[in-house]
């Protein structure tokens, strides 16, 4: 297929949504083009960085629990088939919150309905099992033993490589936004290449609002999200698996991962940061951000109070108003589709998103209302965590 300029589907963007959309389509025998401006899981993307959490708990949002469940199976199958088993680390995932937290209670109910194995903790059992965590203000916990961490940028690269192995074409190029109404016939890159296709999927993450400003500029909110890796004390296993799982503290809007592949203890604030431009924002953490994370470490993980910061990243979320995904057709171009709005929790769902899009494109299924463009507002009212 190399050199062919006519496809069933052209996918623009090789982050996790675009990569898995291409893979799910080519598995169906479709002729697929995947175009990416910088590279799979590149450092400016929301799919970049070393690691992403994959967990089943989503409060009452059962659709995301079910998609996480399906996606974890597909991730593991992909990694086994491509001999990349270490790209999923079964660290377990520990949810922590104050006693009676309604989101954790809803999580318990959904996990039971979905048949997902989990264990519950009260304040006493948390203090005994995880003495490295200061559990002040925390009264309950849910532990998902079969959840964990996806090694993000390498997982995206493995997905793209598998799509190419199965017959997808991959190109590096910056695609210009189409300007039309009705159906479009082709896309063009800044270098002058043109590609024809029947359907076009734009999975461009934080760049969606820049490519389609008339439709999405006020509905996609890219936010600055600093991430820190802290060195653990020499010879200290308390911050590595299995002693410490991946963790999320609802009270604090903070999450982190144990020391994986000797990169350090990962920690980040989950609150939405300032709105940014993905092309021009600074990727250097600020002194204020360093102070905030050090204060948090001193409180919640006192043994890491003086730990060195060994690596930092500034990533971005590309939020929708609610935190629900945007997976829908362009309102004026009938064969142009959006796949984005990962909102800081989307990475794990790549396989399910690709499957959903493949069905929308070729099985004439009815779309999920909460993923529709019409459900996206112009002010952020976060509802999905």
Q: Residue 179: its pLDDT value, please? A: 84
Q: What is the pLDDT of residues 67-98, one digit of tens each?
A: 999 999 999 999 999 999 999 999 999 999 99
Q: What is the pLDDT of residues 55-66, one digit of tens each?
A: 999 999 999 999
Question: On the CB side of 191, how many CA atoms lie within 13 Å of its CA?
Answer: 9
Cα separation, 65 vs 55, whole angstroms: 8
DSSP letters along 136-154, please?
A: TT--EEEEETT-EEE-HHH
> Helix, strand, or coil here: 376?
coil
What would the mean pLDDT of 210-239 be, rounded to a whole number? 97
Cα separation, 209 vs 207, whole angstroms: 5
Q: Residue 364: its pLDDT value, please? A: 84
- Given a cut of 90, whether residue 181 has pLDDT beyond it is no
- Given a cut of 80, whether residue 168 has pLDDT beyond it is yes
What would the mean pLDDT of 105-122 be, rounded to a whole number? 98
Cα separation, 254 vs 249, whole angstroms: 6
| 108, 120 contact by CB (below 8 A) | yes
| 157, 121 contact by CB (below 8 A) | no
| 58, 108 contact by CB (below 8 A) | no
Cα separation, 276 vs 19, whole angstroms: 24
Q: Residue 5: its pLDDT value, please? A: 56
- Given a cut of 70, whether residue 277 has pLDDT beyond it is yes
Q: What is the pLDDT confidence band of residue 338, given thresholds at 50, 70 and 90?
A: very high
Q: Residue 27: its pLDDT value, please? A: 98
- Given a cut of 90, whether residue 224 has pLDDT beyond it is yes
Mean of all residue pLDDT scores within the chain: 96
**Could you say which DSSP state residue 178 is in?**
P
Q: Residue 191: its pLDDT value, please? A: 93
> Helix, strand, or coil here: 194?
strand
Structural domains in the chain? 1-50+151-219+320-385 (3.50.50.60), 90-148+221-317 (3.30.9.10)
Strand partners, 94: 143, 247
Would you mind telling me the total number of residues written for the chain in this entry? 385
What would the mean pLDDT of 14-37 be, rounded to a whole number? 98
């Amino acid at each position: 297929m190399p050199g062919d300029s006519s496809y069933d589907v052209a996918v623009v963007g090789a982050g996790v949504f675009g990569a898995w959309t291409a893979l799910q389509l080519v598995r169906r025998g479709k002729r697929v083009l995947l175009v990416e401006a910088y590279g799979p899981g590149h450092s400016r993307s929301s799919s970049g960085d070393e690691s992403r959490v994959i967990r089943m708990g989503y409060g009452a949002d059962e659709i995301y629990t079910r998609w996480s469940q399906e996606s974890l199976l597909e991730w593991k199958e992909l990694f086994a088939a491509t001999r990349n088993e270490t790209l999923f680390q079964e660290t377990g995932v520990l949810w922590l919150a104050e006693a009676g937290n309604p989101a954790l209670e809803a999580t318990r109910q959904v996990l039971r309905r979905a048949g997902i194995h989990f264990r519950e903790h009260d304040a006493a059992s948390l203090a005994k099992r995880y003495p490295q965590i200061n559990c002040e203000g925390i009264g309950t916990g849910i532990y998902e033993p079969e959840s964990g961490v996806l090694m993000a940028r390498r997982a995206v690269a493995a997905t793209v490589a598998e799509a190419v192995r199965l017959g997808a074409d991959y190109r590096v190029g910056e695609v210009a936004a189409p300007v039309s109404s009705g159906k479009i016939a082709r896309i063009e890159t800044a270098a002058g290449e043109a590609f024809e296709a029947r359907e076009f999927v734009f999975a461009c993450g934080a760049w969606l609002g820049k490519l389609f400003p008339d439709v999405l500029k006020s509905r996609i909110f890219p936010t600055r999200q600093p991430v820190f890796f802290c060195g653990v004390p020499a010879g200290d296993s308390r911050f590595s698996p299995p002693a410490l799982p991946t963790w999320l503290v609802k009270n604090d809007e903070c999450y982190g991962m144990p020391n994986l592949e000797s990169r350090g203890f990962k920690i980040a604030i989950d609150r939405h940061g300032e709105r940014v431009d993905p092309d021009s924002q600074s990727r250097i953490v600020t002194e204020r951000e360093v102070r905030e994370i050090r204060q948090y470490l001193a409180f919640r993980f006192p043994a890491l109070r003086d730990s060195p910061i060994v690596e930092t990243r500034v990533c971005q979320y590309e939020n929708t108003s609610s935190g629900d995904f945007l997976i829908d057709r362009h309102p004026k171009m009938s064969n142009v589709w959006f796949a984005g709005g990962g909102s800081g929790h989307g990475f794990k769902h790549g396989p399910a998103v690709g499957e959903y899009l493949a069905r929308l494109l070729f099985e004439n299924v009815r779309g999920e209302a909460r993923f529709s463009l019409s459900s996206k507002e112009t002010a952020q009212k976060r509802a999905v965590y």
